[in-house]
Every structure is written in C-alpha cells, then in structure tokens.
Structure 1
Amino acid sequence: MDYIVRATAADGQIRAFAATTRDMVETARADHNTSPVATAALGRLLTAGAMMGIMMKGDQDILTLQIRGDGPIQGITVTADSKGRAKGYVINPSVILPANSIGKLDVGGAVGHGYFRVIKDMGLKEPYTGQVELQTGEIGDDLTYYFAASEQTPSSVGLGVLMEKNNTVKQAGGFIVQLMPDTDEAVIEKLEQNLSGIKSVTSMLEQGDTPKMILETVLHGMDMEINETLPTSFYCNCDRDRVSKALVSVGKEELEDMISEGKDVELKCQFCNSSYVFNVEELKGLLKKAR
C-alpha cells in the first residue's frame, strides 16, 4: 500500500516527507498507457504532488503542478489535495527515447527546456502561483530549485520510478527535506554530508527501504521524529455530473451541432481516461441548461 510519512528532525529545524507510490504510479500508467519514460516523468511529479499536497492545511485546498517544455513529452499536469491524493497526465504519453548517458530513462530529454509552475488554491480570492525555469527537466532538481527560488525554503528533493522488464512499475517514491528559517550551520553541514552519501531513491526502495528508513538515512544522527503516516493514492474525482457540466459549458451552438449529427458523444477525463457517453436525448436535456 502507498503511504507518506511526515517527520521533523534537529529540534524542529528540519521537516521531511517520504513516500512510496508504486500503486499510484502503476494506476496512472495503466490509465494513460504511458511509455516507460512518460511513466517515469508522470510518476515523479505525482509523487512530489502527493507530498506537497499534505503540506497544505485546508480540506478544500488544491495544489496543481504544471511542467511545460520543448521536449517530446510537451508537458505534465498533476493536481493533489491535502489528503495525499493525486492525479495527473502527460500531454504526449507515447514518447520513446533512448536511455541517457548513465543508462537511465531520459526524463530530462523527454521534458526539455521550459517552465515549472506551482498553483495553490487555498480558498482565497486569488490562488498562489509560483513559476521557475526548468533546470534539468529531471523534476527532482527542478522542484529543489523552485522551493529555493520561489518559496525561499532550502530543500532537497529525491524522486524515482523504476520500471519492470514488461514496462509496469516496479518501484516509485521520493523524499522532500526542508530547512526551517535560522537553521544552525552544523545541522546544514550534517544534512549535506548525509545527502552526499545517498544512492538513488529507487535503489533504496529496491533494497527494501520503507519511507521511514529512507528518512532515517537522510536524517541520520539528527534525532528524527515521525509525526504521522498518511495513505496516498491515485484518485480522480470526475463523475458523470461534472462531465455533463463541462458539456453544458461549451455553449448552445456546439451542443446543437452535436445533436444534429445524431450520434452518441463520448468524452474522456483528461486525468484518468474514464469514458462518459451521452446519447442524443441526454444532449437535448443538457441543451436546455446551456446559454
């Protein structure tokens, strides 16, 4: 089962999150039939979104992470809520690329150059938006840069997705470690030392490490305390009612064109690929609600 742990260390000078997300990423892969490199890119952003989602306080708060680049994948969108549930899609799910110089899936090459945007809708008049240029397109590095540049929070982000030979997801997970204001230099040095000795997230998961064990490695010798453990999952809140409202919003003219064609209309949810079919009679009912 997928879950996230939230922890503090060094007397509250560090806050940290770690997650295992194999089921979430495999659900996304199956829903969208993504290629291995697209699965890795989407899986990394889903994992980050789930951990960042639980940083928000309100039940209704929604976080959106958007990557837009000039690479063949074109872009990735993930939304998450404060309960650790996330959903997402890639614009071009069938990208195939050769491995990068170290034999890994070339997420950076698939994403390319562009921007990384974070939108937090916390029920205020205007959502908070932060945007930075992509640094490597590998997503973990880009998120580390975003936290420092946009939220002035020095952070370290590790994200990973490992595929099976049959292109299903073998391992997925990640961590986010953040320094609170006025952290002691000695604490920073110790953390940097710990991080420098870390192998990839996927190698830690592959050797059987749990999220707690990953944080114990990252925060070794820093009096880590686990604050809570939360389930996380791929979750889409689309339903027939929401999709019908989207149909109403296209306007009378378009609905009349659909009705005149006399055929069923099929709409697919961008986030989970669920299919909704509306027959002509249903379209006529929606036309009455349209402007």
Structure 2
Amino acid sequence: MEDYLVKAMAYDGFVRAYAMNATQTVDQAQRNHDTWNTSSAALGRTLVGALLLGSTVKGEDTITVRVEGDGPAGAIIVTSDGSGSVKGYIQNPHVSLPLNEQGKLDVSGAVGTRGMFSVTKDLGLKEPFSGQTPIVSGEIGADFTYYLAVSEQIPSSVGLSVLVDTDDSIKTAGGFMIQMMPGASEEVVNALEERLQHLPNISAMLDEGKAPEEILDFIFADETVAILDEMPVQFQCDCSKERFAAGLISLGAQEIQEMIEEDHGAEAVCSFCGNKYYFSEQDLVELKKEAAEES
C-alpha cells in the first residue's frame, strides 16, 4: 500500500480530522540513518506528526519540528511541507532501550521528559512563525497535542504509532490528528474523548490492513465522515551539491584555502538524508574564487 494522508470533516464541520499511513516513509528514514529500534520509533513518530502538521499549510510552505529532550537520543529535527514531503534526522540513531512497563518501545526513555518541543512555520512571509512548549511526556504524540493546545490554541488529539520489526525495519507507521473547531459542543468533545480512549494502537490497525479512511471511520463510529482530500506522503530531501557549494562559499576564501592545503578536497554529508557530496581540490579552487569575488 502506498503511503498517503486523508483530510476529512465530521460533526457538520465542527471537527477536522486527518489520518495517514506512512510506513514506507518512516522505513526510508530508518534505512537512511541506520536507526535502532527505540530511535526508529522516536524519529518515526516525529516524522508522522510533522506530516500531519504540514498537511495544514499550503504546498511550498514548510514546518520544522524540533524535539530537544534530555534523553540519550538527543535532538530530533524534522521538516515537512504542504505537499506531503518530509525529511528528518535524530542526533543519536543508535538507541535501543529495554521495553517499558507496558511492553512497548520506551520512546520517552530515549527522548527524555525534560526539554523543549518547538515548531517553526515558514509560510512565505517576512518572518516565520515560531512556537514552543515544554516536553510533557517524551512520547511525542502527547507533546504534539500539548503544543497545539497551548501554542496554537487548537484543542486536538494526536496519535502517532510506529511498529518496528525484529530486524529494525519498519513494519507499520502512521497516525491521526483530530481538531475541534470553534463552536464544537461539549457532547461532541465528550463522545470523541470516549472513542479515543478505546482506540486500538494505530500501527496495529495498519498491520491488519486498515486504510486511513477506515481508521477515521473507527474513531467517529456511526458519525458521517466527509473525506475532503487525499495526498501522497514521502521521505524526500532537497539537498544538492549546489546547495552545499553555496554553503562552502559562505565560509569565505580563507577557510576554503585551509581545506585545500590540509585535505586537498572536502566531503559534505547531508544530516537529513545521509547523501554525500565530494568536492575535489579543483572544485575548491573554483569556490574560493567565487568566495573572494563576493567578499
């Protein structure tokens, strides 16, 4: 099944809903970064959450999520856009912790329970919008939920799930986001809270072959769900040798000269996808000329 996200409305437009299968997307990230199981779950949940948030902005606009906790996984940085593309990395990909008391991957143990959760939205305006909240659980889903309630004043429920196989590959990954619109009644809020308390694990539902639409049908029970849009999602990095060359030029002619003298070349590695770009000594000589002209 191809990865995709659905956008929907329910309860006469008073509830906005999103659900997604992102198994291949998260599996691509796992292979790019060689993440071990607990790091895979932490990075995967952040990728899914960022895609859900990214689906609320327009095509070229971007959202960057930073989860900077005090756990051994270190910082998690993920950027998504309004067209369903996402890229991201985790500072320490090799974290594998014992299962928690519920017998599940200990994402909170990897991320930590103290630190900051921040979101930066670049909507093509002069200044990007930024908001941040304290990490409240380190389980990622609850941290997205808390951020939306406090920083954006949108009562929401975000569920994120990653099922990691015994060989560290991703068996299933996906999630949902339910948001209350102004005017939603207490009855609607209470009914949804009751349903969400009894919702099976999303990755288990995906493992059974359920589609995102079926997950929303389960959440809303007998209520009519109007599907508004369907969008493919994928891990996609926009790095290039040209972008890294521009970065080298910005370092200045002196620093490039030191690279020429000491290493006779340079290798740049993209943090988001792991791609490597090699610059020969001659490449650096050309970049040094450009840097000198710009200074």
Same fold (TM over 0.5): yes
State the match for 1:211 in structure 2. Answer: 212
Q: Amino acid of the residue matched to residue 231 of structure 2?
A: L
Q: 197-206 or 266-275, which moves further after superposition? A: 197-206
State the match for 1:251 in structure 2. Answer: 252
Q: Amino acid of the residue matched to residue 185 of structure 2?
A: D
Divergent runs of 4+, >3 A:
none
Cα distance in 1 between the residues matched to 2:192 and 2:152: 20
Cα distance in 2 between the residues matched to 1:255 and 1:61: 33
Cα distance in 2 between the residues matched to 1:279 and 1:6: 47
Q: Amino acid of the residue matched to residue 244 of structure 1?
A: A
Instruction: State the TM-score, normalizing by the size of structure 2.
Output: 0.96
Contact 2:60 2:83 in 1 (8 A): no
Quote how far apart the aligned CAs of 1:28 are: 0.4
State the match for 1:238 in structure 2. Answer: 239
User: Quick one: structure 1 residues 277 and 225, their matched pair in 2 at CA, closer, same or farther if it must change by over 3 Å?
Assistant: same
State the match for 1:64 in structure 2. Answer: 64
Cα distance in 1 between the residues matched to 2:84 and 2:8: 15
Cα distance in 2 between the residues matched to 1:283 and 1:178: 51
TM-superposition CA deviations, 1:6-36 (whole Å, max 9, x none): 0000010000101101110111011111111
Structural mapping, 1:124-143, within 5 Å:
124-143=125-144
Q: 117-126 or 244-253, which moves further after superposition? A: 244-253
Structural mapping, 1:1-291, within 5 Å:
1-57=2-58, 59-112=59-112, 113-290=114-291, 291=295
Quote how far apart the aligned CAs of 1:265 are: 1.1
Q: Amino acid of the residue matched to residue 25 of structure 2?
A: M
Does the residue aligned with 1:259 lie in a helix, a strand or coil? Answer: helix
Cα distance in 2 between the residues matched to 1:60 and 1:229: 17
Cα distance in 2 between the residues matched to 1:88 and 1:163: 18
Cα distance in 1 between the residues matched to 2:251 and 2:162: 38
Root mean square deviation of aligned Cα: 1.0
Q: Amino acid of the residue matched to residue 8 of structure 2?
A: A
Cα distance in 2 between the residues matched to 1:23 and 1:243: 27
Instruction: State the TM-score, normalizing by the size of structure 1.
Output: 0.97
Does the residue aligned with 1:11 lie in a helix, a strand or coil? Answer: helix
Quote how far apart the aligned CAs of 1:221 are: 2.3
Does the residue aligned with 1:4 lie in a helix, a strand or coil? Answer: strand
Q: Amino acid of the residue matched to residue 107 of structure 2?
A: V
Q: Amino acid of the residue matched to residue 261 of structure 1?
A: E
Contact 2:77 2:89 in 1 (8 A): yes
Q: How many residues align?
A: 290
Cα distance in 2 between the residues matched to 1:148 and 1:221: 27
TM-superposition CA deviations, 1:184-217 (whole Å, max 9, x none): 1111121112112102111211222111011111
Q: Amino acid of the residue matched to residue 128 of structure 1?
A: F
Q: Which runs of 5+ in 2 are unaligned?
A: none
Q: Amino acid of the residue matched to residue 179 of structure 1?
A: M
Quote how far apart the aligned CAs of 1:262 are: 4.6
Cα distance in 2 between the residues matched to 1:190 and 1:232: 30
**Percent of aligned pairs sharing the same letter:** 43
Cα distance in 2 between the residues matched to 1:202 and 1:160: 5
Q: 269-278 or 183-192, which moves further after superposition? A: 183-192
Contact 2:87 2:272 in 1 (8 A): yes
Does the residue aligned with 2:12 lie in a helix, a strand or coil? Answer: coil
Cα distance in 2 between the residues matched to 1:66 and 1:203: 27
Cα distance in 1 between the residues matched to 2:200 and 2:263: 59
Does the residue aligned with 1:161 lie in a helix, a strand or coil? Answer: strand
TM-superposition CA deviations, 1:222-271 (whole Å, max 9, x none): 22111111000000011111111111112222111001125231110010
